[in-house]
Amino acid sequence: MPSQASESKSSKHWRLESDLDGISWLYIDRDDEKVNSLGTEVLSELEQIITQLENDQPTGLVLMSGKSRNFIVGADVREFDATDKVSELEDNVRKVHGLFQRIEDLAFPTVVAFEGYCLGGGLELSLCFDWRIALDADHTRVGFPEVNLGIYPGFGGSGRSIRAMGGLQAMQIMLTGKMLRARAARGLGLIDQTVDRHGSLRWAARNAVLKKKRSSKPPLKSRLTTLGPVRKFLAGQMRKQVRGKARPEHYPAPYELIDAFEASGNSQATMIRLEAEKVPRLLAGDTSRNLRRVFRLMESLKEQGKRSDFKARRVHVIGAGVMGGDIAAWCASRGLEVTLQDREMKYIEPALKRAGSLFKRRLKKPEAIAAAKLRLRADVEGAGVKRADVVIEAIFENRDAKRELFSNLAKDLQPSALVATNTSAIPLDELSDVFEDPSRLIGLHFFNPVAKMPLVEIVYGKDTNTDRVNDGSSFATQIGKYALPVTSTPGFLVNRVLAPYMRNAMQMHREGVPKEALDKAAEQFGMPMGPVELADTVGLDVGLGVIDTLMGEDAGEDRKILESMVESGKLGKKSGEGFYRWKKGKPQRDAKAHEGHDLEALAEKLMQPYFDECRACLDDQVVKDADLLDAGMIFGTGFAPFRGGPMHYLESRAAQGGTADQEEQS
């Protein structure tokens, strides 16, 4: 251990200790907050501390966290909305730049040693230090998530990360917002050293100070990526990659970063200077403002999962089809013991095979993959029901079949077990009355593909036990999903909104609009995929079931078309053909089919039923408020995040007094 502290000085958010070796130990511990973030007051206090250290000239400085398992999650996002004046934002950024440069220029060894999240501004601060040490633990993550807020690193991170890693690696980290584990960050040069035990952080930090360790330059191959001709080529490739995921008019931040890299990626000072010009403009823009709103909506969904202390150990899933099998695999990947039931082993085997692929993608390490496979077990006889904390029904969408299953299941359930249906649209009260206590049944409505879709609707009826709803929300949070409580109206929220939207697309297609034009119009509006591709991806058999539940015979010709396609085996992506033919998981399109169509006008017409149904859901109190509706539609349907949610979009459009077309052109 380092020598005992001989002196300690505290401010509101920082604690500074000096040990007998003359090393200063600085701890960030934001007052009255669960996590550390770099707010204005926090940075102001840090500036005073740096002035003191410049005067004292200690043997060295070590920065650590005063909070267990947590370092710095970034800048304080709550303060981003304090002003939209670009000049004020520029002054704020330049002030931080000055402070961080003073830290980098300190005349004695500086070391940062952390565990937990080191993100955004926290990583930018760390890059000012001579040596960076991280605990190699599952809860340690390193990265630049700023692109998800419509900006890019603005506290000097763009220039300093390129110095640490080289141009290509640094740009990939900043453009993707990807969070890295400690070892991966060390391999790239973001981190200089990893340790395996918490106690080792202090030892390693002390040794690094005394040995005056400094980060080495990245390998020559990495440094070459900052040369002029190479930068120009790489910038072109980066724009192509980004354009495949985000349009510049919708998400300008990554393109601004690429422009800065192409112009000045060989100069740390110039990259940092460009931050002060570009990032404030991005912060004041509509995209960043709306993405910050999405961030707050995401936090509100996380709060839904904190209403109870429910924690599951064992999950039993009935139905090994695509949804049931993937729900089971996801739960196993999150550390739960899972039993998967179906009529015969031949129905379970494909699900186990898909699960193996998921484990490889998510868990990476052979021992973790093997452990997950052991946690997921086939259970044709349904023996796991009696021991399960959570039982999820995920059989085909048929009311009578589900009722019969629950009736047979009731006698084997633990009294405390959470019992849920994954129905896409059937109201709970049409299923729950088979139980002696109907109030215990809830809906846990997952979305396809389970591994990618972050939302789970927690469905409740007028008689549902509130504690069960809260437990369901906690379970969704436990397995890494966002919990959205919704009332048990037909279709709940997401499918109720999607059904008229998809039906509208089918009608427009029958009236002669090419499916490619419909999909391209929706994507141009900002949807992650068009309605026709979405129908194929979800499965036309699933879509038919939803339409039957929500519209019945009123669906008319659209239902007949779907029924005919399903009967002929055209189920969409999973069968290789639906509205599109599918090859290697991708729809085969006519690249010129959309030509000659006004895509903006198409988008306006296409989206209208979507918006109308959102308003109707709010009027019917399917969710508590407009914010939760916006959250549900963003995370459940992929509604364009840069627009801030459908209700927010409609409100903004009304305030501007224009149509969607006019707004796009403004």
The count of other CB atoms within 10 Å of the CB of residue 616 is 14
Please report the DSSP string for 193-246 in residue order: EEESSHHHHHHHHHHHHHTT--PPPPPHHHHGGGSHHHHHHHHHHHHHHHHTT-
> Of the listed 17, 90, 275, 457, which one is catalytic?
457
The amino acid that residue 273 corresponds to is: R
> Of the listed 495, 516, 533, 577, which one is catalytic?
495
Which has the closest alpha carbon to 408: 318, 492, 304, 307?
Answer: 318
Q: What are phi and psi of 431, to 5 degrees?
A: -125, -35
- Note if 424 is an active site residue: yes
- Note if 8 is an active site residue: no
DSSP state of 69: T
The single residue listed with the structure tokens 């509205």 is 579
Spatial distance between the Cα atoms of 620 and 617, rounded to a whole number of angstroms = 5
Where is 127: in which H helix or E strand? none
In angstroms and rounded to an integer, the radius of gyration of the C-alpha atoms of the chain is 27
CA–chain centroid gap for 175, Å, is: 15
Which has the closest alpha carbon to 133: 29, 234, 215?
Answer: 215
- Note if 13 is an active site residue: no
Beginning with the edge strand found earlier in the chain, give each strand of the sheet holding 23-28 in spatial order. 5-10, 14-19, 23-28, 60-65, 110-114, 131-135, 193-195
Question: Within 211-338, where are the H helices?
Answer: 220-223, 228-243, 253-264, 268-284, 286-304, 322-333
DSSP state of 581: B
> Of the listed 65, 222, 422, 424, which one is catalytic?
424
> Of the listed 97, 445, 509, 648, which one is catalytic?
445
Helix (H, G, I), strand (E, B) or coil at 125: helix
Please report the DSSP string for 509-574 in residue order: HHTT--HHHHHHHHHHHT-SS-HHHHHHHH-HHHHHHHHHHHTGGGGHHHHHHHHHHHHTT--BGG
Report, as residue numbers or ranges, the catalytic residues.
424, 445, 457, 495
